[in-house]
Chain A
C-alpha cells in the first residue's frame, strides 16, 4: 500500500512532464515559424537588393534647377503643395519610374516620359485651356482626362483613376509652370 501513492505521484509527474514537453514543442514550433517569417521580411529588405517602397519623393536630378528656374520657393521651401509639384516634376521627367503602374515603357524605351513629347511650357498652356469642347469626342474634356488618355495610349499603359496622384500631380506641376509664366485662363500659346 505504501508504493501506491508513490506510483501515483510518479505517474502524475510523468503526465505533467509530457504535457510540459508537448507545450514546449508547440511554443517552439510557433517561435521558429515566426522567426522564419520575420527572417524572410528582413531578407526582403536588406538581402534581396530590391528597392524599398517609401512614401517620400526622392529628389531627382534637375529638381533643384527646376526649382530655381521656376521659382517654386514662392510657395515655400517644403510643403504639401511643393511636394506635389516635386512629384509632378518626377512624373513628367521620369514617368516610367514614378508612374510604373500606368505605363509599360521601361528605362530603355523612347519616348518613355511626358517630357519627351511635351515641354513643361506646353503642359502649362494645355492646363490653361483645359475643360474645353473637343470636337472629335463631342464633349468637354478636362486636362486630367487628357493625361489619362496619354498614359493609356502614347505611354502604352493603362488608365488611372482621375484622382490618382499620378494624374493630379501633373496638373499641379502644370499649374506651377503656368504661375511662373504668369499665364491667364485660356491663354493662347505664345501669349500670357
Chain B
C-alpha cells in the first residue's frame, strides 16, 4: 500500500517536475520576445510586454482548459498596435500609453462581442489556412521592414505612408546615416541568433543567446567608448513598476477623435488575435489529442484582454511557436503554462537590472528573425500546389502591404468568405458519355455551372438518353428543386439516385427492365 502511494507520488512528482521544466523553458523563451515585441514593434515600454507575458499567460491558463494553450504577447498584435498608434502620439510617452490601453480595451470588448454572438465566433472558423497564412507572411515581411530604423539607431518615421516605399527608404537610411555602433550590435545579435538556430539543440535558446551576445558587446562598447558616445538606445528601467502596475485607459472628451480613429485598429487587433487563437487551438486539437472547443479560447482571450489594459499589459493571444514547444515537450497539464508565468515573474524580479541594459538594435535584430520565421516556405509551397489557394494566399499577402493591416484583415475575411462560397458554388460535375454526374450542392450559386453543362449534354446527338446522377449531392435548395422538376419534364432524361437503391424514372419498367437497369447501374 505504502509502495503504491509512494510510486504514485513519485510519478506525480516526476510529472510535476517535467511541467516545471517546461515552464522554465517557456519563461526563458518568452522573455526576450516579450521585451522585443513591446519596445520595437508596439512602441511601449518593456514592462508592457513582460506583464503581458506574466499576467496574460496566467489569465489565459486559468480560463482556457487546453493544456497546450500558451497565451502572452504576440508579434502580429504588437505590429498592429505600433501601426495604429504611430500617427496618434509620440511613442513611449504617457499619451501613447493611454491610447494603447484604450486600444486594448476596445479590442477586448470586440472579442467579447465575438464570444456572445455565436455566429460571429463561427465566422472565425471560415478563415481558412491560405488566408491566415497570407496575412501572417505579409506581417512577417512587414516586421522585417519595420525593424530597419531601430536596427541602426534611427528615429522611426512617424507619419503614415506607403509601407513598401518606407521600407526601401529606411533601408537606404540604415546604409547611409545609421549609428555604426548600433549596426554593430544589431549585426552581432543577428548573426549569433541565425547561426545558433540552425542547430536543433540550441534552437529554443537562439534568441536568448543572440540577445546576450548583443548586450555583452554593447556593454563592452559602453565600457570602452562610453555610453555617452555610442548613444545606443536601451530597453530601460522596469523595476520601479513592481510586479503589477495598475493603469487606467484614456477616455476623455478631448481624446475622442483619436480614439475613434483607432477603432479600425482595435477591430484588427481583436480579429487577428482571435484568428490566431482559433487556428492554434484547431491545430493543437489535432496534434495533442485533447479536444477543446475553440469557444474556450475566445472566452479566455476576451476576458483577459478586457482586464489586461487595467494592469499595463499587452493583449494576449495564442502563440504558435510556444505551443508547439509545449507539445514537443509533452506537457501534461496547465501547470506548465502557469509555472511559466510565475518563473517569468521571478526572472524579471531578479534580472530586471540586466533586462534594462539590453540595447534596442539587438531587439530589432530579434524582430527580424521572428519576422523571417513567420514566412514558412513549406506552408507556402503547399498552398501553391492548388490554384485557388495560391490566389487567395497571394491576395492576402499583398493586401497587407497595399491596404495596410486593417485593410488586410477586411480583405482576408472577404477572401475567406469568397473562398468558401467559391468551393460551394463549383460542385464537381462530370460528363462521361451520356452520364451527367453531380457531386456537391445544387443551389442557386452552383446552378449556372450545372445548367451550362446539362445543356451541352442535352444537345449531344450521339446518345438518345441522358442520365443525371445526383447520388453524391448532399444539398438541394428550392431553386435546385425547380430546376430538377424542369429537367424531369424532359423525356430524354433519366435520374439516377443510387442511395435509394432504385432508379427514379417517369414510367416504371418491368422486371426484365429492372435487371437491365441493375446491370446498367453497375456500368455507371
Asked whether any CB of A lies within 8 Å of a CB of B in the complex, the reply is yes
Interface pick from A6-14, A112-120, A124-132, A163-171: A163-171
Residues of A34-69 whose CB lies within 8 A of B: 34, 36-38, 40-41, 44-45, 48, 50, 52-57
Residue in B closest to A45 when the chains form the complex, CB atoms: B246
Inter-chain contacts of B248 with A (CB < 8 A): 52-54
C-alpha spacing A41/B299, complex, angstroms: 18
B246 x A52 contact (CB < 8 A): yes
A101 to B240, CA, bound (A): 8
Q: How far is the CA of A145 from the CA of B233 in the complex (A)?
A: 11
State whether the Cβ of B244 lies closer than 8 Å to any Cβ in chain A: yes
Is B247 close to A, CB under 8 A? yes
Shortest A173–chain B CB gap in Å is 15
* Contact flag A50-B246 (CB < 8 Å), given A44-B311, A158-B357: yes
Q: Which residues of A contact B240 (CB under 8 A)?
A: 100
CA distance A166 to B233 in the complex (A): 13
CB distance from A49 to the nearest CB of B (A): 10
Question: B91 near A: Cβ within 8 Å?
Answer: yes
Count of inter-chain pairs, beta carbons less than 8 A: 115
**Chain B residues in 8 Å Cβ range of A103:** 237
Q: Complex: how many Å from CA A52 to CA B97?
A: 13
A29 and chain B: residue at smallest CB distance:
B65
How large, as a class, is the contact surface on chain B? Answer: 35 or more
Residue ID in chain B nearest A42 by CB atoms:
B310
A182 close to B (CB within 8 Å): no
Known: A50-B246, A153-B227, A164-B93. A33 touches B63 (CB 8 A): yes
Contact A161 B299 (CB under 8 A): no
Q: Mark B298-317, 1 if CB is under 8 A from A, else 0.
A: 01000110010011100000
Interface: B98 (CB within 8 A)? yes
Q: How far is the CA of A165 from the CA of B62 in the complex (A)?
A: 37
Contacts of B360 in A (CB 8 A): 161
Known: A45-B310, A55-B95, A103-B237. A149 touches B228 (CB 8 A): yes
CB of B370 within 8 A of chain A?
A: no
Q: Give Cα distance in the complex from A137 to B242, angstroms.
A: 38
B236 at the interface (CB under 8 A from A): yes
Residue contact B156 to A38, C-beta cutoff 8 Å: no
On chain A, the residues within 8 Å of B90 by CB distance are: 163-165, 168
* A152 and B45 contact, CB distance less than 8 A: no
Whole-angstrom CA separation of A142 from B266 in the bound complex: 37
Tell whether B235 is near chain A: CB-to-CB under 8 Å: yes
Q: Is B231 an interface residue (CB 8 A)?
A: yes
CB under 8 Å from chain A, chain B span 428-481:
none
Q: A residues within 8 A CB of B158? A: 163
Say whether A89 faces chain B, with CB atoms less than 8 Å apart: no
Is B59 close to A, CB under 8 A?
A: yes
Q: Which residues of B contact A93 (CB under 8 A)?
A: none
Find out whether the CB atom of B237 lies under 8 angstroms from the CB atom of A100: yes
Do B97 and A53 touch (CB < 8 A)? yes
Interface flag for B92 (CB, 8 Å): yes
User: Which A residues lie at the B interface, using CB under 8 A?
Assistant: 30, 33-34, 36-38, 40-41, 44-45, 48, 50, 52-57, 87, 100-104, 137, 145, 148-149, 152-153, 157-166, 168
CB-based closest 8 A-B pairs: A55-B98, A165-B93, A53-B247, A149-B228, A158-B234, A101-B236, A55-B94, A158-B236
